[in-house]
Amino acid sequence: NAGVTQTPKFRVLKTGQSMTLLCAQDMNHEYMYWYRQDPGMGLRLIHYSVGEGTTAKGEVPDGYNVSRLKKQNFLLGLESAAPSQTSVYFCASSAGIPEAFFGQGTRLTVV
């Protein structure tokens, strides 16, 4: 059972570089989410998707873009990385409220 898989697990970027984080789920879930987790703060929603081909903004969407071309994949893109985007990123999927399953996280450092 793979569940929710995130790649990569770690990444260091220089300011201005771009990258894409991949989230894959094998549970046939409709809902997928991208969060960031910073010290002393709760997880904050960046973008989410309620189904293949749909995306919507969350609480902190600026500087990020997403795509859901296939139901099982949800991509998070950083077009021009900034130090403020240094964080741990979590992907989650859900068949609907209330249960959500999280990936292992991606630790991103922007220098």
Q: What is the DSSP letter of 79?
A: S
Of 12, 37, 19, the closest CA to residue 92 belongs to 37
From 19, 43, 52, 73, residue interacting with another protein (rule: CB under 8 A): 43
- Distance, in Å, from the CA atom of 51 to the CA atom of 11, rounded to the nearest integer, reads 28
From 92, 93, 108, 110, residue interacting with another protein (rule: CB under 8 A): 92
Report if residue 104 touches another protein, rule: CB under 8 A: yes
Residue closer to another protein (CB basis): 58 or 77? 58
Give Dmax (Cα) for the chain.
38
Q: What is the DSSP letter of 52?
A: T
Asked whether 45 and 36 are in contact (CB, 8 A), the reply is no
From 50, 52, 63, 71, residue interacting with another protein (rule: CB under 8 A): 50
In the complex, least distance from residue 13 CB atom to another protein, rounded to whole angstroms: 20
From 11, 20, 44, 72, residue interacting with another protein (rule: CB under 8 A): 44
